[in-house]
Amino acid sequence: MAIRYNRYLDDSIKKNMAERLKFLFDFSFMDDSDAVDIHIREKNELMLYHGGTCVLIIKLAKLNKKGFISLSAHKTYKDKYKSLMREWEVSDDSKLSGLKEAYVDYLKTIIEKVNKKYYKNKKEGFWNNKICIEFSRYWAAEMDWLIIDRECVLGFESKSKKKDFYNKAKSVYGTIEKEMRTQDSDKWGNINRFKDYGDELDILAIGPNKELICIELKHGSNTSGIYWGPLQTSVYRDAFTEALADISGGIKTMVNQKIDLGLLPEDAKKRLPDGNFTNLKGILLVAAPKEKSRCWNNLKEVQNKLFNIPKKVVGVKTINEKMELKSVSS
């Protein structure tokens, strides 16, 4: 089964971006420069995230042949800013200047109007932005993690193949949760509250030993999300591990492009292996942890269930406002 991770631009489009559209990556004009996080996507697209929502999609497919880029967004934002959401000619300097002005104005305005649940409430979306930017845009070689992507999705030829691929891991870890809920619904919640684990990993990083790291992020207030988190993290870890041979090349291409475009520091190249990635681990990351929460005892019980599956226990870390990481013992 062919699996892909093609979140990179065509080489010619990347060159054009570096020469004429570098301003799209500069957020220094904003009062909170961490409020917008930009990432490369398949089909020559860029997505701009404001916490837990995507506020802008930039389509670059027509850049080389016709000199146009196209801006779009979810209708929540698009309908209010139709003057921006269109094709823009960028080969002409005067028209490029108009795009720059509209782009800056839109981002300054939209983040003030986005529902606070995505960023201003300082829950998961807020922390996703802060963490991804801290360990990428501001990355230094001594940091444990180099974060290379977020909202990470493996690509498949069809939805059915994707479903079949994930079902194996979901069945293993879903069974653990369902059994625990069935045995003690007062403690773990009724079985009908079980939810599918999904197929979108929060954060993908590279560790100091050139290993890939699948990071699932939870806010400290999300009690059940934290203690069930090792099971969800395990699904993603197993999926990415099985796909490593297919996706390593695409991931390395993406990282090199982000370095060339200034989204990652030059030294980030030192984290890339010569060949394919061969090691991968899963981490449950809890932001703004609450030390007295009941989640920690429940978390240990869930982790103990994973000890019965060889080499399946995931690491657990917390992170505070100073961006300090701390390991949580199982």
Structure confidence by residue, pLDDT tens digits, 136-163: 999 999 999 999 999 999 999 999 999 9
Q: Could you say which of 72, 97, 116 is where a domain stops?
A: 116
Does 2 map to a domain? no
**pTM across the whole model:** 0.96
Structure tokens at 16: 């054009």
Q: Is the pLDDT of residue 310 over 80?
A: no
47 or 311: which leads in pLDDT: 47
Residue 92 three-state SS: coil
Does 258 map to a domain? yes
Does 67 map to a domain? yes
Does 321 map to a domain? yes
Residue 131 and residue 317 in contact, taking contact as beta carbons nearer than 8 Å? no
| 49 in the same domain as 159 | no
Ordered DSSP codes for 136-173: TTT--TTSS-EEEEEEE--B-SSHHHHHHHHHHHHHHH
Does 136 map to a domain? yes
Q: Which amino acid is at 87?
A: E
Convert the pLDDT of each residue in 65-94 to its tens digit.
788 999 999 998 988 888 899 999 998 888
- Helix (H) or strand (E) run with residue 214 in it: strand 212-219
* Phi, psi at 201, each rounded to 5°: -75, 140
| 268 in the same domain as 227 | yes
| 168 in the same domain as 250 | yes
Q: Could you say which of 86, 116, 146 is where a domain stops?
A: 116
Count each helix (H run) and each strand (E run) in the chain, helices first: 9, 11
**From CA 273, how far away is CA 74, in angstroms rounded?**
37
Average pLDDT over residues 26-47: 96
| 309 in the same domain as 188 | yes
Residue 266 three-state SS: helix
Q: Which amino acid is at 60?
A: L
Does 3 map to a domain? no
| Strand order across the beta sheet in which 315-319 lies | 146-152, 201-206, 212-219, 280-287, 315-319, 325-327
Convert the pLDDT of each residue in 97-119 to its tens digit.
999 999 999 999 999 999 999 99
Percentage of the chain beyond pLDDT 70 is 99
Q: Could you say which of 80, 99, 116 is where a domain stops?
A: 116
Boundaries of domain holding 15: 11-116
Q: How many structural domains is the chain composed of?
A: 2
Structure tokens at 291: 């030390």
Could you tell me which residues are beta bridge partners of residue 316?
A: 284
List all residues 6 or more positions away from 136 whose beta carbon is below 8 Å from its beta carbon.
146, 147, 148, 258, 263, 264
| 277 in the same domain as 129 | yes
Average pLDDT over residues 48-74: 93
**From CA 175, how far away is CA 198, in angstroms rounded?**
15
| 54 in the same domain as 168 | no
Convert the pLDDT of each residue in 215-247 to its tens digit.
999 999 999 999 999 999 999 999 999 999 999
**From CA 192, how far away is CA 182, in angstroms rounded?**
10
